Structure 1
Amino acid sequence: MRVARCGVIGLSSGLLAVVAHASATGHLPGLPHVLAFAAAVAWACGPLTDRRLEAAEIVGLVVTVQVTLHVFLAVLGRHPREVVPSPSMLVAHALVTAVVVGALTGAEGAVFRLAAALASVLPRRFTPPPAFAPLRIPIAGPNEQPLSEALRRRTVPRRGPPVL
């Protein structure tokens, strides 16, 4: 489930940011760049998917992806000096951010409701039965050398030239 959530976050935020960027500039970036960025976003979102994301976390994530993708596409695009977005670019990214946040928030709730419904219906995994025989724990035997000898060998190094 975590891998699917990472993929959805990466593809939705990455591809819709490309659509916003293309609608404002008039040209689409290369497909390898887009797929590489979407894969990087999905990989970076991996640690975030260990729990349910709140709306504020999704907003922060999507805004970060939008800004990063804008800079990424501006640097790789036809005009690498235009990193500051134009008003139409800013509006396009803001609209896409709102759409992606709404979709991901709804999908996050739906996924966890579905998981709860499936967990209530599916059989639970049973715990293993208790062991009948006592657990055997190996105990170390008596030490042949006295403690002072072991300490002397480990703490006091031999001095002198190496033996040839």
Structure 2
Amino acid sequence: MALPTAPLRRARCAVVGVVNGTLAVLAHSNADGELPDAGLVFSLVGLLAWATSGFARHELTWTRLLLLIGGGQAAMHVLVSLAVSRHEHPANPAHMIVSHVLATALAVALLTFAERTVLALARAVASVLPRRPVPLPASAPLVVATPARVPVTTVLPAVLSWRGPPAEQA
């Protein structure tokens, strides 16, 4: 099964990283009541999108998405919790876990549907586009035809003399 070209693969992984980071921030702020710093959010979302790009060559099945999104939610939770130092009140741990689990489930369901739809559309478009001819792989050594050789002795004596100029003696 051929996957789409590199720009589409990168775009898919960027969407996964952005959705993962955005939902992690929203889940964290829902449970905590505070939005983290925008610079932190953008850098962590970019880091998640970059980390997801390692999966670009593979179809993102729901199990792969669950691992990516679940790991991203856990990483974002830890990093946002460490970076946010302005907690007036500690967040309810049960509410925080429920928020992240719901965000993970929502993201996996949404992205699994989107992945299937995008790949089905890409395959449908690729099936109607003209294909480039692909050279067949070599199955035997290459034989190069050489022209028939004319004996040198029959051509050169009539044309050239092998005698050189006289040598000078000192």
Q: What TM-score results when the alignment is normalised by the length of structure 1?
A: 0.73
Number of equivalent positions: 131
Following superposition, the deviation at residue 84 of structure 1 comes to 9.5
The ranges of structure 1 where at least 4 consecutive aligned residues each deviate by more than 6 angstroms after the TM superposition are 82-85
2:62–2:112 contact (8 Å) kept in structure 1: yes
Change (3 A) 1:83 1:120: farther
CA contact (8 A) 1:74 1:83 kept: no
Largest Rg, 1 or 2: 2
What's the counterpart of residue 111 of structure 2? Answer: 104
Q: CA-atom RMSD, angstroms? A: 2.4
Structure 2 CA distance, aligned partners of 1:3 and 1:23? 30
% same residue: 37
Cα distance between partner residues in 1 of 2:66 and 2:92: 19
Within 5 Å, give how 1:8-157 maps onto structure 2: 8-78=15-85, 86-127=93-134, 134=144
Farther off after superposition, 13-22 or 118-127:
118-127
* 8 Å Cα contact 1:2/1:49 also seen in 2: yes
- Look up the SS of the partner of 1:61 in the other structure: helix
Gaps of 5+ in 2: 1-7, 136-143, 146-170
Contact map agreement 1:14 1:38 (CA 8 A) in 2: yes
Asked which structure has the greater RCO (Cα within 8 Å, sep 6+), the reply is 2
User: Which runs of 5 or more structure 1 residues have no equivalent in the other structure?
Assistant: 129-133, 136-164
2: CA distance, partners of 1:9 / 1:83: 30
The 2-side partners of 1:77 and 1:85 are apart by 15
